[in-house]
Amino acid sequence: MFDLCLVSTPPHYDHPWWVDNILYQFDRINIKPDNVHVIRNPVHSKYWNKLALFDLCKDDRQYLFLDLDTIIVKDNVLDWLSDDLSILLNWWNSWPATTSVNSSVMSWRGNYSYIYKQYSEDEDFYNTTCYHDDMYLGKYFSKDLNLIQDRSCAYSYRWKKKSPMKINYNSTFVLFNSGVWNMFKKEWKDYILQPIPDKVLMEAHARFKTNNS
């Protein structure tokens, strides 16, 4: 069917609960990946470890990547599997976005290791000129990407109080991006693995305080 690809690295997503929670969500909708590939030891800084998946997962197999701060709402996950390298269009940004690409959900089949190879050959340059992996993908590989423009795939949780966005929450995936603490609100209790470890909650609260100070 497909291999699931995840990145579980410090400082925010190294607790085992994060991977267990994603697997729990697949169990909840009665879908079982053939294999699960997890990058746990950071090779690069921050978001850039995600690119290493293209070097790790390059066989003639179907792959699906999800950010760990994702909630699966609907059971039609298989509808979003793709042979081409498919990645979300960053449609929910109502302000000028730094990139049209959001890599919280990706699917592909086969070898896209050249994306990682280009980055690894001049890591300092790309870290300096591109704020994160999404900008890198959008800037240098736009012709290789199949942008998922269908809004029923994913939406980004409206966590910024000043955001003018009013989104109809009716998608397969919910993305929390920089507002991960919102995952632990009562409205999502039935979707995620319980109990949530204190360490995970404390870390999420610390990020909330940092982002709202």
CATH number of the domain where residue 37 is located:
3.90.550.10
Question: Distance between CA 50 and CA 66 in Å, rounded?
Answer: 10
Residue 169: what pLDDT?
62
**Cis (ω within 30 of 0) for the bond into 10?**
no
Count of structural domains within the chain: 1
- Which residue type, as a one-letter code, is found at position 110? G
182 lies in which domain range? 3-211
pLDDT digits (tens, 9 = 90+) for 70-103: 999 999 999 999 999 999 998 766 544 566 899 9
Greatest Cα pair distance, the chain, in angstroms, is 47
Residues of the chain falling short of pLDDT 50 = 95-96, 162-166
DSSP β-bridge partners for residue 38 = 6
Alpha helices in the chain, H assignment, sequence order: 16-28, 53-56, 113-121, 123-129, 133-140, 198-211
User: What's the predicted TM-score (pTM) here?
Assistant: 0.92
Whether the CB-CB separation of 158 and 179 falls below 8 Å is answered with no
Residue 47: what pLDDT?
87
